[in-house]
Structure 1
Amino acid sequence: MKKLKIVSLSLIFMIFYSCDKFFETTPDDFLSPVNYFNTEAHLDYALSGVYEILAHSNLYSTNYISEMGTEADEGYYRAASKVNGPQVYVFGPSDVTVTNLWRTLYEGINRANILLTNINKPNMDEDRRAVIKGEALFLRSYFYFLLVINWGGVPLILEPTESAQGNNIPRASAVHVYEQIVADMKEAESLVPSADSVGFGGRVSRSAVRGMLARVYLHWAGYPIRDESKYEDAKEWAEKVMDPLEGHMLNPSFEQVFLNYSQDLYDIKESIFEVEFWGNLTDAFHAVGRVGNVNGVFTTNEDVIGHAYGFIRATPKLYNLYDDDDIRRDWAICPFTYDAQGNRVDRPILERNPGKYRREHEVVIPKHRLGTPINFPLLRYADVLLMYAEAENQLNGPTADAHAALNQVRARAQAMLFEGTDEITDRVTFQQIIQEERARELCFEALRKYDLIRWGILTLEMKEVLSTLPAGAFYRMAFENVTDRNVLFPIPARELSLNRDLEQNAGW
């Protein structure tokens, strides 16, 4: 059973009804908290409402793990009927998927703002109040991080929306947004407990904040801002997670990391932060996602394996990045699908799905055709090690410490270790190795596209995939259509019409 409080969705809707109307000029209602936020329980319910955004269908439940955040060189969207949308780079400012992501992230921000505004109302234990504040600050900053890496500068709103008037807010610069993200995360880091105290990855811990700060600084250091001074900060925060006193280490089994997400098991040493899903839609208390359903191994077998559309397939480029003895390859890229009876059917490389989220290992019975209880990883210790190695290399070249962090990840994979041979004594070559290792280790975790963007190589790497795909194949679309404008999404047309102070991104 998941350890987040199970909160009535009707209660959350009642509390936060106005949030869905963030930029509406004539909203139906606005939150009036006069008779709410009077107890610790009220704060807990509100905090659950902020966490709920992570599990929204527009975010890690469905869209962000199948139609957005995955459109990189690691995989492609297989449905031939889906000829428009971000997954094939055929879309514009009116695209509903892009618009809904923007709205959902701002809904989460407004929920956090409402909670933070009322954090001091109830009489309660001050330590508990501080933890709630820290979690809300972190979640708000994480939503802003997703906004800035997808759109660049965005309106920076730190107070609840209380009126239909005065909502014409210009975009803050991307640097200003990053500054606010870092300020919120640093404050949160001082308030939330250690990962060991939390005990599972579904709540914000000190290590989750520190690891995300490392990620934030790496993006700040990369394209398009390129403030290379931030590599020092990225290294520092990654080192804090790597401190032996924090107790983090790699799970000895790469497969088990992902089996845990399917089996309601937790490993806080490796899986530092994850999105929680639970249930199977058969009772009143559930919060299912579609992890494994939209991005798992294809089958129409519902009862034994669990129905999976297999919308994502791996590219030959990703497959060929693995050595034959790398045990991650056939788990990350499943070599088979299932037929209607649940039998394995071997597949050629171009028809292989991501294998990290396998429904056959779910423990919640009966399985639902459209909903799964599989959690989704947001931060793993392997990522922290690779972020440290990258930052250290950018600062000091491929040092022994950078090699050691990289080799921890490769040793678990039973892959060849890099020992500082002549081929990898220069910074540029080692950076290339890190880029490839992040693909091998972190594929299909909604990170690759944004890595390519911060490295300034999105279009280049996408075009490289074309040479590995059959001429005339429909799934070449994304790789043919991507251009340099795709480093950012367009500001949604709806928001431009409601907020006259917004300006569109270049190329849109």
Structure 2
Amino acid sequence: MKLYKLSLALFLGLGAMATTSCEDKLDVTNPNQQTTGTFGFNADDLEECVIAAYNHIRMEGSSARVGYTLDVTRGDEVWNSSQVWYMPFDDMDDPVTDEISMWPWREAYYTINVCNFILSRTTGDDASLSESMKRIKGQALFLRGYSYYTLAGYYQNPALITDYANYSSLDGLYGKNSTYDDVLDQVEKDFAEAMTLLPSRDAGGEWAKGRATCGAAAGYYARTLMLRHKYSDALTVLKDIMNKKYGSYKLMANYGDNFREGSAYENNDESLFEIQYLDYGSQGVDDEWTPVNTSPNATQGHAVESNFAPGRFGGWADLSASPWLYNLFKQERTKDGKLDPRLYWTIGTYESDWIGFENGNVAYKSEMTPNDTIVTNNNYGGLPIAKWTNFRTNLYDKVTTGLHCGINLRMMRYSDVLLRAAECENEVNGPTQQAIDWINQVRERASLKDLSLSDFDTKDKLFEQIANVERPKEFGCEYGRGYDLIRWGFFYDQGRLAQLKEHGTFRRSPYKAKEPVSYSLVGVDPELKSSYDTYVPGHEFLPIYQGLLNDNPNLTGNSANTNTDNSTDFFGRGWTVHPVVNLGK
């Protein structure tokens, strides 16, 4: 009643004003109908834009499911155990008519569009910006660079749009393809500028938790340089990170702390950048899939767990760890004669070594036994992936499928800095003791025996150790392996392609999931198959969706659309592929 009387009084008052002066007009901006002419001229408005940009790197098409797992399936550490969902991506022959392949594209350009708007409001000399505006601009640059890094890694030659004014006309809105190098030039530029604008995690304090910092920008800058074999430049940046120029980072004493949820573990000392999700029990109930969340009760978790988790515990049972990765872990024991503890958090198998270790032989609160083999898919078997799930955490006994997992996805960890620095050092000067020392820092956390320089007489041999032993065991079943395989040229060398086929061989059976498999028996043993059997040249990248090409007359397809072999371009740059080395000799 009071509100009604107040509204009536205001109405009568405005009416009285109108009778005394018909020429006067009340100019009021409707906060619910903002336009580019009224919005974005202060830090508060632009902070809202930054939040919107972060939101779309954590959607189903970016990280919450499809955008993350498409690269996981591209690697040799994972295979498609459901034999349905993700099948074309695992077989590396995705057709141009598959709309799913467009989802990362859509989310990336949403983020880019928002970032371009922010950057249109933060022009001029960076030194003249306030501290809050520097942080806003730095985050926009990082998120735009991050999005184009994703686009180049997935789609090879996407449209490069950096000026918000381009959206004012159809010619500008319908961008044409840019070259791989032009896109990565811009990515390097964005990350390099973000490094100068953003605070370190130390200086940022509570603000820095969950946000991009100069350390995150530096880490991704080094990654981008390595995509184009700029090893010397990348090594300089990686050394600066290790020397704390961009903040303090260190390896967590417990490897498993990188894969648990909760404030005690997430945004920890090892994390350069991670995607934020709400913890279990603190999110909404409505699963809202692509393209946007609109419900006030929308969930704020990811569905990577649903894709990884075994069917027995309610998971979708889509993706499994490769037998190659499992048996790679089994080949080397710790100094105490135990299994590598990283296996515990990577693959969900029963092992006698796990008795008394962490939560023991647990699978979603169920006690595993030697005779009770848990497979990913009830029909096709597979070794369950434990990462980005609560398989080992003892938090709950069954998966609530959908966008409900609250474990933050650590997109770059300090161990990656160390192993990348070792790789760059080996490329520039190797093999060297310095490269060995950086590798040994990562191995020491796993209680593995130190490597010795005397065991690596050539650059090729040390590269083999980094690429096919150290990195798979440290980052197995995580995002990024597909990017590595492309930059290393493994799709363009017959020896390396044969190696990928060997690594990617799996058994379609609910039995014998742990057994080693051999590509030589594919076609002989009907249960065996390799993810790379149907690889079509050019399909190391995702095709640009035909619907996008139909809608945009300026856009053309990439190598996956045309089945074009990229080896000529790779070798034409003067790049080489390390030959396969047998580390047993």
Q: Into which bin does the TM-score normalised by the smaller protein fall?
A: 0.7 to 0.9
Q: Secondary structure at the match of 2:74?
A: coil
Choose which of 186, 197, 206 in structure 2 pairs with 1:180: 186
Q: Secondary structure at the match of 1:185?
A: helix
Tell me what 2:38 maps to.
Answer: 35
Q: Secondary structure at the match of 1:33?
A: coil
Moved more, 353-362 or 407-416: 353-362
Choose which of 153, 174, 186 in structure 1 pairs with 2:157: 153
Tell me what 2:67 maps to.
Answer: 64
Deviation, 1:216, is 0.6
Choose which of 286, 301, 311 in structure 2 pairs with 1:288: 301
The answer to whether residue 222 in structure 2 is matched with residue 210 in structure 1 is: no
2: CA distance, partners of 1:102 / 1:186: 23
Given that 2:259 and 2:387 are in contact with CA atoms closer than 8 Å, whether structure 1 keeps it comes out as: yes
Tell me what 2:452 maps to.
Answer: 419
Tell me what 1:112 maps to.
Answer: 115
Given that 2:364 and 2:394 are in contact with CA atoms closer than 8 Å, whether structure 1 keeps it comes out as: no
1: CA distance, partners of 2:270 / 2:365: 35
Tell me what 1:333 maps to.
Answer: 347
Tell me what 1:438 maps to.
Answer: 471
Which stretches in structure 2 are left out of the alignment for 5+ residues? Answer: 1-31, 286-295, 334-338, 351-360, 492-496, 506-516, 564-585
1: CA distance, partners of 2:328 / 2:364: 32
Which letter maps to 2:438? Answer: A
Tell me what 1:346 maps to.
Answer: 373
Deviation, 1:431, is 0.5
2: CA distance, partners of 1:339 / 1:205: 36
**1:339-391 deviation per Cα after TM superposition (whole angstroms, max 9, x unaligned):** 89844343479621221223263879997442111110111000000010000
Choose which of 422, 429, 433 in structure 2 pairs with 1:389: 422
Tell me what 1:463 maps to.
Answer: 501
Tell me what 1:240 maps to.
Answer: 240
The answer to whether residue 437 in structure 2 is matched with residue 404 in structure 1 is: yes
Given that 2:366 and 2:397 are in contact with CA atoms closer than 8 Å, whether structure 1 keeps it comes out as: no
Deviation, 1:265, is 3.0
Given that 2:423 and 2:463 are in contact with CA atoms closer than 8 Å, whether structure 1 keeps it comes out as: yes
Which letter maps to 1:356? Answer: K
Which letter maps to 1:463? Answer: K
Which residues of 2 match residues 482-497 of structure 1 at below 5 A? 482-497=535-550
Choose which of 82, 93, 96 in structure 1 pairs with 2:96: 93
**1:250-281 deviation per Cα after TM superposition (whole angstroms, max 9, x unaligned):** 1111112212x466633542011000011432
Tell me what 1:304 maps to.
Answer: none
Which residues of 2 match residues 171-320 of structure 1 at below 5 A? 171-199=177-205, 202-221=210-229, 230-244=230-244, 246-259=247-260, 261=261, 265-278=265-278, 279-282=282-285, 284=297, 286-295=299-308, 297-298=309-310, 300-301=312-313, 307-320=314-327
Q: Secondary structure at the match of 2:64?
A: coil
1: CA distance, partners of 2:533 / 2:414: 34
Number of residues of Structure 1 aligned to a counterpart in Structure 2:
462
Given that 2:235 and 2:421 are in contact with CA atoms closer than 8 Å, whether structure 1 keeps it comes out as: yes
**1:292-342 deviation per Cα after TM superposition (whole angstroms, max 9, x unaligned):** 2222x42554xxxxx433422111111122224322123211105988984
1: CA distance, partners of 2:145 / 2:85: 33
Q: Secondary structure at the match of 1:156?
A: coil
Which letter maps to 2:302? Answer: G
Cα 1:335/1:366, change in 2 over 3 Å: closer
**1:92-139 deviation per Cα after TM superposition (whole angstroms, max 9, x unaligned):** 112111122212211111111112113479xx9810001110000011
Deviation, 1:442, is 0.9
Deviation, 1:170, is 2.6
Moved more, 195-204 or 344-353: 344-353
Given that 1:263 and 1:363 are in contact with CA atoms closer than 8 Å, whether structure 2 keeps it comes out as: no
Deviation, 1:247, is 2.0
Moved more, 263-272 or 86-95: 263-272
**1:375-427 deviation per Cα after TM superposition (whole angstroms, max 9, x unaligned):** 10111000000010000100000211111110000111112211212x31311
Which letter maps to 2:112? Answer: I
2: CA distance, partners of 1:257 / 1:78: 25
Moved more, 498-507 or 269-278: 498-507
Which letter maps to 2:473? Answer: R
Which letter maps to 1:258? Answer: F
2: CA distance, partners of 1:400 / 1:107: 45
Given that 1:193 and 1:205 are in contact with CA atoms closer than 8 Å, whether structure 2 keeps it comes out as: yes
Cα 1:181/1:45, change in 2 over 3 Å: same
The answer to whether residue 138 in structure 2 is matched with residue 134 in structure 1 is: yes
Percent identity, please: 24
Cα 1:165/1:420, change in 2 over 3 Å: closer
Larger radius of gyration: 2
Q: TM-score scaled by structure 1?
A: 0.83
Which letter maps to 1:233? Answer: D
Given that 2:62 and 2:103 are in contact with CA atoms closer than 8 Å, whether structure 1 keeps it comes out as: no
RMSD across aligned positions (CA): 2.9
Which letter maps to 2:98? Answer: D
Cα 1:341/1:372, change in 2 over 3 Å: closer
Given that 1:92 and 1:490 are in contact with CA atoms closer than 8 Å, whether structure 2 keeps it comes out as: yes
Moved more, 482-491 or 469-478: 469-478
1: CA distance, partners of 2:228 / 2:200: 26
Which letter maps to 2:390? Answer: R
Which letter maps to 1:136? Answer: A
2: CA distance, partners of 1:309 / 1:263: 28
Which stretches in structure 1 are left out of the alignment for 5+ residues? Answer: 1-13, 16-30, 222-229, 302-306
Given that 1:201 and 1:272 are in contact with CA atoms closer than 8 Å, whether structure 2 keeps it comes out as: no
Which residues of 2 match residues 339-378 of structure 1 at below 5 A? 342-344=366-368, 345-347=372-374, 351-359=382-390, 361=393, 368-370=400-402, 371-378=404-411
Which letter maps to 2:251? Answer: L
Given that 1:134 and 1:192 are in contact with CA atoms closer than 8 Å, whether structure 2 keeps it comes out as: yes
2: CA distance, partners of 1:409 / 1:494: 45
Q: Secondary structure at the match of 1:377?
A: strand
Given that 1:77 and 1:311 are in contact with CA atoms closer than 8 Å, whether structure 2 keeps it comes out as: yes
2: CA distance, partners of 1:53 / 1:343: 38
Given that 1:264 and 1:374 are in contact with CA atoms closer than 8 Å, whether structure 2 keeps it comes out as: no
Given that 2:122 and 2:133 are in contact with CA atoms closer than 8 Å, whether structure 1 keeps it comes out as: yes
The answer to whether residue 52 in structure 2 is matched with residue 49 in structure 1 is: yes
